Structure 1
Amino acid sequence: MKAILLADEINQFHWSILKSVTLIISLLPLNQFIWDVWLSAEGSSQIVIGFFALSFALTSFILSFWSALKMSVASTTAVTNSVERMVISLYRQVPMLCLTGMLSYLVMSV
């Protein structure tokens, strides 16, 4: 699909950044759901639910980190001038900053 204002490679890069940020932001409702289920369980069920919740949350964190890391090292060859190159290099760091903020919020809220 051709982009109207941006080069096709920049447009794909932008959508990849948005997908990565969306994956990272989805950690918040996921953790809230896990927390609510764990608190509503009783006794030995909490151990099983806690194990599965911890496994699922850890997998989500790892996938989010991998996605943010992949975006932070992504390269684009469609950039022509130095201003665009600087903006892209800053924009490339958005998923990792979002992940850092989300994880620090989740750690402080528990």
Structure 2
Amino acid sequence: MKALILSDEINQFHWSMLKSVLLMLSILPLSQGIQHLWQTTEGSSQIMVGFFAISLMSSLFVLCFYSALKATVLELKTTEASSLEAYVVRIYRYIPMLSLAGMLSYLATQF
């Protein structure tokens, strides 16, 4: 039976993908916490919470987009990879951008 042994470059690529997707998944609990905080405050405090929420979420969206874009355009230098492995890696690199688009569309429908 043939064992699947990933090269070091593919292994690092995989971990960067996981970190990118986990960064995007952190958007959901953060947005729910900010929404709960905004609903429990009153009057002029909502303005401050809203400004804080917009600043925090926009910076998080920029970081998520940057990490997804970096994963999408990453060039791997594996010469011994078969055509099937190269095809799987080409598809796999779009997962962070797809998860970011899914998370943003979910949040857009919730608010």
Decide: shared fold, TM above 0.5.
Answer: yes
- The reply on whether 1:8 has 2:8 as its aligned counterpart is yes
Structure 2 CA distance for aligned equivalents of residues 67 and 7 of structure 1: 22
**Structure 1 runs (4+) greater than 6 angstroms displaced:** none
In 2, Cα distance between equivalents of 1:30 and 1:5: 37
Scaled by the length of structure 1, what TM-score is found? 0.93
Where does residue 39 of structure 2 map in the other structure? 39
- Indicate the percent of aligned positions where both proteins have the same amino acid: 52
Alpha-carbon distance in 1 for matches of 2:38, 2:54: 10
Unaligned runs of 5+ in 2: none
Give the counterpart letter for 1:75 in structure 2.
E
Are 1:82 and 2:86 matched, yes or no? no
Q: Give the number of equivalent residue pairs.
A: 107
SS, match of residue 106 in structure 1: helix
C-alpha distance after superposition, 1:1-55 (max 9, x if no partner): xxx8210110000000000000001100010011011111100000011001110
Greater alpha carbon shift after TM alignment, 74-83 vs 5-14: 74-83
Gaps of 5+ in 1: none
Q: Could you tell me how far apart the structure 2 residues matched to 1:77 and 1:52 are?
A: 42
**Cα distance in 2 between the residues matched to 1:13 and 1:58:** 26
For the residues of structure 2 that align with 1:53 and 1:93, how far apart are their CA atoms? Answer: 28
